């Protein structure tokens, strides 16, 4: 009996590989300081990498306190990554949140934890 082969069945491995490639490209386009992190992998930032997340020019706004990185982008008091008129996102504020803020670390519960700061 003659075997009927369609384009899809002959090239099924190629089609599968193409689908994987498209998925990878679209996933890569979602990363970086301009994109909200949605991946459930652990994000580990160095202090230099954290500095990119300053909330300016459409970049996301992250701050670090006690080794945890928080996303403050959508918090109204951190508009454009600036808080209290003088604290720009992209930095470790473990000391200032205790010594300079009227509220202390309790306010951190309003922000999402998105990663950890490398030692």
Chain residues that interact with ligand HEM, rule: CB under 6 A: 63, 70, 72, 75, 77, 83-85, 87, 93, 96-97, 100-103, 107-108, 110-111
Task: Identify the H or E element spanning 20.
Answer: helix 12-28
Distance CA 75, CA 82 (A): 10
Q: Quick check: helix, strand or coil at residue 95?
A: coil
Nearer of residues 30 and 74 to ligand HEM, judged by Cβ: 74
Nearer of residues 59 and 70 to ligand HEM, judged by Cβ: 70
Distance CA 54, CA 59 (A): 7
Nearer of residues 58 and 85 to ligand HEM, judged by Cβ: 85
């Amino acid at each position: 009996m003659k075997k009927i082969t369609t384009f899809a069945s002959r090239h099924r491995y190629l089609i599968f590989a193409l689908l994987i490639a498209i998925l990878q490209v679209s996933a890569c386009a979602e990363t970086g300081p301009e994109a909200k992190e949605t991946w459930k992998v652990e994000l580990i930032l160095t202090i230099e990498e954290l500095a990119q997340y300053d909330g300016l020019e459409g970049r996301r706004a992250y701050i670090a306190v006690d080794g945890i990185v928080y996303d403050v982008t959508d918090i109204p008091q951190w508009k454009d990554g600036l808080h209290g008129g003088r604290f720009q996102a992209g930095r470790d504020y473990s000391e200032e949140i205790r010594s300079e803020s009227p509220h202390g670390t309790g306010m951190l519960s309003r922000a999402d934890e998105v990663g950890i700061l490398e030692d």
